[in-house]
Structure 1
Amino acid sequence: MLKIRNSLFAALIGATSAVVALEQVRAEDKSLTFVSYQGTLQDSQIKAWQQPYTASKNVQFEYDSPPDGAKLKAMVEAGAVSWDVMDQGAAFAEQNCGKLLEKLDFSKIDTSQFPEGSVSDCGLPVYFFALTFVYNTEKYKDHPPTKLADFFDLKNFPGTRVLPPDISLGTLEYALMADGVDSKNLYPIDVDRALKKLDTIKSSIIFTKTNGALQQALVDGQADMGFAVTGRVMASAKAGAPIAPVWDKTILGWDALIVPKGTANLATAMDFVQFVSHPEQNKRFAELAGVIAATSKATPDYSDLNKTFNPRLHDETGDKVLLSNVKWWSANLNSVIAKVTPWMSR
């Protein structure tokens, strides 16, 4: 009888060990496909997010690019979603929440550390970027611009202006503030009034189709002033462009982590998003990529160049940095584009 019991016990131990081993293999085989924009940005995400997550959770990563909304839509509609976590604009998260995107699990995320209005049901903010007003220091070395209104003053500040290809980043808001609209009353945007203000300098505007072309215009000296996002401004400065920022009112946009609807790795994807929300991951990413930290609890050690072009470090009064109204833009982007596009060609 004892031998039989011992045999049964050994069998049970063996079965249990087999189950544990199987679970370990499954854990080791876990993987996520992360979709971002390649280049320095994604390299920084890998170092700040994916590598420490792999070390902590034994989850491997595959990578794809770019985070194309049309491709995601086709995947979801076909029921063949191969992406698990994406870096995308905040407006995309608002527009497609519950349709192309899963609602995030915030049960283990401290949302109070993010600016009010930046967290959405389907998007966790992971970095901010400014639409920065920059000018050529050689062109205006004796009389530099100091406020948004100077961008629209061709009499006192003659020269070419360059604008970003994405109208939702803040160009219209800047035009309105330069025209006297209080920063607290920008939304809903009076598109006609903004375009009327832009009409006053239209003959001196360079319209760019890509951010790369905008950056080149700053580097080559084709543009004497410009509105450009943080990353492109710093890249231009690194490439030798003699530019400096004007800190009047500055619009911040942001990117968010989103989870495609129908991912086969939902629990792991949600856990990864929660991991990225930690201040230490945000701090490391902000340092590596030179972006503006998403959480107030992150304290990046910025380089001198990062400090020069980080609006939060130049906001002495606490009212100069403004968040874009992503909800308004997500609801109105198509109608704005329909109005701005023919205006540009006139």
Structure 2
Amino acid sequence: MGSQVSRREFLKTTTGALVTAGTVARTRPAAAAGELVIVGWGGAHEESLKKAVYDPFTAATGIKIKQVSATNQLALLKAQVQNNSPEWDIIQPGSAWLWRGAQDGLYEKLDAGVVNRTEMYGPALHSHGIAFEVYAVDIAYNTKRFPTGSHPKSWADLWDLKRFPGRRTGPGWTPRDNFEAAVMAAGVAPAKVYPIDAKLAFAKLADIKPQMTWWQSGAQFAQLFSDEEVQLGYGWGARVVVLAREGKPLAVELNNAILDQTFYAVSKISKNKEAAMKFITFASQTKPQAKRPLLYPHGPTNRAAWGQLDAKTKRDVVNYDLPGVLLRNPEWWMDNEAPLLEQWKKFLAA
């Protein structure tokens, strides 16, 4: 297939994974002339994009944006391409889905010069997509129980049940994130995490398993902290930051954060490819990228946008250049997740 991308090329251009199973929230017909259909993840995530990116884009170009939501975007896009039945113009794949979709010929190769490459962080650039946000799995904590400054500042701290007692939570639906956190807790430096030592990860996770409540969705992760059923844990940090902005006694620790990205990619069968490329150019510029973290705590992929954020905002969002962070390796998980998932299920059941 002419649009296929090698694994080596993918790893040079991006990393991370956002593999989320689910069902369609709502779908709509293909875009009319002068309109782009963008499929996203719904909720506050999409509301913030509408305010920071979509509405300003329409004001600047006259091209309307129609938002739809779906969690199983890759499978639905594949069906659209196979049936030559376009419904979406722009998709929001995570790194793993960008890689898979490029391999399967589901995305249009981006126009040369669609973004100013020097303005973007390197991992955000891929031949079939441009990352518009970087986010993380962070250490989260209750600030009443552990005031900031006296909280766990590393994965090793989070694993220290004596210094930091209390109920914890972590993702139960996947070994991902758990494995990275566990081996870093065992002393493996972020740069040495991959390939992951699975035996070490399972052994380290066994140490905290008795104190763990395993979450199955981002909403449950946030609810466990909101209801104070747990005092410590790890998961999508933006969920906790949103609660903290609402006044909940919560905070996140960005040290050793496990980074991931979300991309904009253009459907291979979009009938509005020129407008879609214009949108990606606009969405990658400094102004919309700097506004978005004020509305939703995901970091920008434009270097200048990060520089425009004030110190308070930077405390809530991650950045590629933060010391001690880990950028996810999607290829390793592509090769290993299926067998490890079976072992993971047995580990939880034991």
| TM beyond 0.5 | yes
Q: Distance in 1 between matches of 2:253 and 2:293?
A: 22
Report the Cα offset of residue 195 of structure 1. Answer: 1.6
2:4 is matched with none
The amino acid across from 1:344 in the alignment is: L
Change beyond 3 A, Cα 1:113–1:188: farther
Change beyond 3 A, Cα 1:157–1:284: closer
Matched, 1:62 2:66: yes
Report the Cα offset of residue 338 of structure 1. Answer: 3.2
From 90, 93, 104, the counterpart of 1:88: 93
From 95, 99, 110, the counterpart of 1:104: 110
Mean alpha-carbon deviation: is it higher for 240-249 or for 196-205?
Answer: 240-249
Q: Distance in 1 between matches of 2:173 and 2:291?
A: 28
Contact persistence 2:298–2:318 (CA under 8 A): no
From 319, 329, 335, the counterpart of 2:323: 319
Contact persistence 1:126–1:255 (CA under 8 A): yes
Mean alpha-carbon deviation: is it higher for 280-289 or for 207-216?
Answer: 280-289
Report the Cα offset of residue 207 of structure 1. Answer: 0.7
Report the Cα offset of residue 302 of structure 1. Answer: 4.9
Matched, 1:277 2:281: no
The structure whose residues are more often helix, as a share, is 1
Matched, 1:156 2:163: yes
Change beyond 3 A, Cα 1:235–1:267: same
Q: Distance in 1 between matches of 2:160 and 2:310?
A: 34
Change beyond 3 A, Cα 1:244–1:281: closer
2:213 is matched with 206
Change beyond 3 A, Cα 1:120–1:336: farther
Runs of 5+ in structure 1 lacking a partner?
A: 1-27
Mean alpha-carbon deviation: is it higher for 199-208 or for 245-254?
Answer: 245-254
Report the Cα offset of residue 225 of structure 1. Answer: 0.5
Map residues 207-226 of structure 1 onto 2, 5 A cutoff.
Answer: 207-226=214-233
The amino acid across from 2:325 in the alignment is: V
The amino acid across from 1:144 in the alignment is: H
Q: What is the root-mean-square deviation in Å for CA atoms of aligned residues?
A: 2.5
Q: Once the two structures are aligned, what percentage of the paired residues are identical?
A: 27
Report the Cα offset of residue 82 of structure 1. Answer: 1.0
1:178 is matched with 185
Contact persistence 1:67–1:86 (CA under 8 A): no
From 292, 317, 340, the counterpart of 2:344: 340
Matched, 1:36 2:43: no
2:151 is matched with 144
Mean alpha-carbon deviation: is it higher for 321-330 or for 246-255?
Answer: 321-330
Secondary structure in structure 2 of the residue aligned to 1:201: helix
1:24 is matched with none
Report the Cα offset of residue 301 of structure 1. Answer: 3.9
Matched, 1:238 2:242: no
Matched, 1:72 2:77: yes
Report the Cα offset of residue 257 of structure 1. Answer: 0.6
1:266 is matched with 273
Change beyond 3 A, Cα 1:42–1:86: same
Secondary structure in structure 1 of the residue aligned to 2:248: coil
Contact persistence 1:36–1:87 (CA under 8 A): yes
Report the Cα offset of residue 223 of structure 1. Answer: 0.8
TM-score, normalised on structure 2? 0.82
Runs of 5+ in structure 2 lacking a partner?
A: 1-31
